[in-house]
Structure 1
Amino acid sequence: MPTIITKDGVEIFYKDWGSGQPIVFSHGWPLSSDDWDAQLMFFLAQGYRVVAPDRRGHGRSSQVADGHDMDHYADDLAAVVEHLDLRDAVHIGHSTGGGEVVRYLARHGESRVAKAVLIAAVPPLMVQTESNPGGLPKSVFDGFQESVATNRAGFFRELPEGPFYGFNRDGVEPVEGIIANWWRQGMQGGAKAHYDGIVAFSQTDFTEDLKNIQLPVLVMHGDDDQIVPYAAAGPRSAELLPNGILKTYKGFPHGMPTTHADVINADILEFLRS
């Protein structure tokens, strides 16, 4: 399998298919690069080079005990980009992966990047604070951590069966294959990475990072996102970005790259060609 070893000795697995302008995909918690299947196949067919790493502790990358924070995530992404010498790349991040992309751009600069896309992404800040009253209470994320530590397999069925894909909404038919694939990806990763990753995606403040990103960024968010609530995320990120473009999807769930791949892929392609 194609892997690199980071400076702190972590083996990172990645997919690298095709040729042409590179698109780099950063996946959500607690999944892997497999969550991008619908995008990887679509953009590969459109003539792009598609690259998708598994985050440390997730998927096929090393299940290390440490480094499960946004700075390490960004540095690991930079290590893959530099190893493959990617230039004029488009970075696309979903959920936690959106935070990873934002921190990567803020920490490593924009010299190798042409554009970015944030899909249902966690920036600017998920947790509720005095300065972020629209965020979710910390108790929500404490509950996530307790579930990961005590009943990860059960918790990783409940999320995709319910709010992640909107399968708990009236009139929405659950798709067992999607649910099982989410569970498979989650259980492939390490419990410690998933436990620590909850703090990383919920408590990292990306406000200053967003303000300093100059390249064009498409912010895509569904207004029925039950994981990263719309009002405190998509619109606020677009406002903070100097060159941000907000695209809102009525009724779309958090996992919209899977449930509405045809719409999401077409809109990303239009943005890339603009």
Structure 2
Amino acid sequence: MGTVKTTDGVEIFYKDWGPKDAKPIVFHHGWPLSADDWDNQMLFFLSKGYRVIAHDRRGHGRSTQVWSGHDMDHYAADTAAVTDALDLKGAVHIGHSTGGGEVAHYVARAKPGRVAKAVLVSAVPPLMLKTAANPGGLDISVFDGLRAALAANRAQFYIDLPTGPFYGFNRPGAKISQGLIDNWWRQGMIGGAIAHYDGIKAFSETDFTDDLKKIDVPVLVMHGTDDQIVPYADAGPLSAKLLKHGTLKSYEGFPHGMHGTHPDIINPDLLAFIKS
């Protein structure tokens, strides 16, 4: 574990486990969580001989609770600061939800040789917000509602979201994990409210279309068909079509946080793609 200081003075916390000469896998967490959201996957790939790295986005987790720079340009630049500091080459970048947007924005701008492959898991690209050019997106009122709930009672909001739609625990017959719910709350409350508030605009209004078109490495797009946070039809399939070397893998009935609820299925699929 360590920190990297960005050009604007933000300390980015990161974990770096495994042999330094092993193939690196970099994990990018979703909103409003931290690197800890990838613990299951990091331990899995560590056991397979990989070097695993994950950082807390600015304002999230253990990184500086700065009040500014909560946008995809800064997120990508912060990622570059970490990969440059660790001199990662031929890395696989895996991002969940907002982290998937961060991956797309970073990989499209990465220095030659830094990235070998990428994975977008339940990710926000190409664009979540409903616009004239994106009629299948979600209305701005949805995101205004998230901001209002966060500002009114963040602690309660961070119980309601994982208890309900994030993991699909609101579905009939769902196998509920109180541990996942509690860990989601713990991670969320460690981060800064302003970073999370501004982050909603970053993940909902950023158009990643050009990023996806620029990416020249193989990308696996993984998305559950019962994603209640980032609806399947307006995300996974559209991203896969925009990518030069994109592959879509759909998961029937899986929720947004499927890497948490179904690691026994997601982890082997990630491994197969990385080894292919």
Q: What is the TM-score normalised by the length of structure 2?
A: 0.98
- Alignment partner, residue 7 of structure 2: 7
Shift of residue 109, structure 1, vs aligned partner: 4.2
Q: CA separation in 2, counterparts of 1:175 and 1:262? A: 15
Identity %: 69
Secondary structure at the aligned position of 2:27 is classed as strand
- Which one-letter code corresponds to 2:255 in the other structure? P
- Alignment partner, residue 94 of structure 2: 92
2:70 is aligned with 1:68: yes
- Which one-letter code corresponds to 1:73 in the other structure? Y
2:113 paired residue among 76, 91, 111: 111
1:141 paired residue among 119, 140, 143: 143
Shift of residue 24, structure 1, vs aligned partner: 0.3
Shift of residue 230, structure 1, vs aligned partner: 0.1
Shift of residue 147, structure 1, vs aligned partner: 1.1
Unpaired runs of 5+ in structure 1?
Answer: none
2:84 is aligned with 1:82: yes
Q: How does 1:200-239 map to 2 (within 5 A)?
A: 200-239=202-241
Q: CA separation in 2, counterparts of 1:109 and 1:129? A: 32
Secondary structure at the aligned position of 2:52 is classed as strand
- Which one-letter code corresponds to 1:16 in the other structure? D
Q: CA separation in 1, counterparts of 2:3 and 2:250? A: 36
- Alignment partner, residue 160 of structure 2: 158
Secondary structure at the aligned position of 2:187 is classed as helix
Q: CA separation in 2, counterparts of 1:214 and 1:21? A: 19
Q: CA separation in 2, counterparts of 1:263 and 1:241? A: 24
Runs of 4+ more than 3 Å apart: none
Secondary structure at the aligned position of 2:271 is classed as helix
- Which one-letter code corresponds to 1:47 in the other structure? G
Encode CA deviations 1:58-111: one digit per residue, 9 max, x unaligned: 000000000000000000000000000000100000000000000001223452
2:42 is aligned with 1:47: no
Shift of residue 18, structure 1, vs aligned partner: 0.1
Secondary structure at the aligned position of 1:130 is classed as coil
The answer on whether the counterparts of 1:110 and 1:215 sit within 8 Å (CA) in structure 2 is no
Q: CA separation in 2, counterparts of 1:192 and 1:110? A: 34
- Which one-letter code corresponds to 1:249 in the other structure? Y
Q: CA separation in 1, counterparts of 2:50 and 2:38? A: 14
Secondary structure at the aligned position of 1:174 is classed as coil
Encode CA deviations 1:16-53: one digit per residue, 9 max, x unaligned: 00021000000000000000011000000000000000
Q: CA separation in 2, counterparts of 1:273 and 1:5? A: 33
Q: CA separation in 1, counterparts of 2:137 and 2:4? A: 36
- Which one-letter code corresponds to 2:260 in the other structure? T
Q: How does 1:176-255 map to 2 (within 5 A)?
A: 176-255=178-257
Number of matched pairs: 274
- Which one-letter code corresponds to 2:194 in the other structure? K
Q: CA separation in 1, counterparts of 2:149 and 2:120? A: 27
Shift of residue 173, structure 1, vs aligned partner: 2.7
Secondary structure at the aligned position of 1:231 is classed as helix
Instruction: State which drifts further: 101-110 or 6-15.
Output: 101-110
Q: CA separation in 1, counterparts of 2:175 and 2:221? A: 27
Shift of residue 149, structure 1, vs aligned partner: 1.2
Q: Once superposed, what is the RMSD of the aligned Cα atoms?
A: 0.7
- Which one-letter code corresponds to 1:99 in the other structure? G
- Alignment partner, residue 125 of structure 1: 127
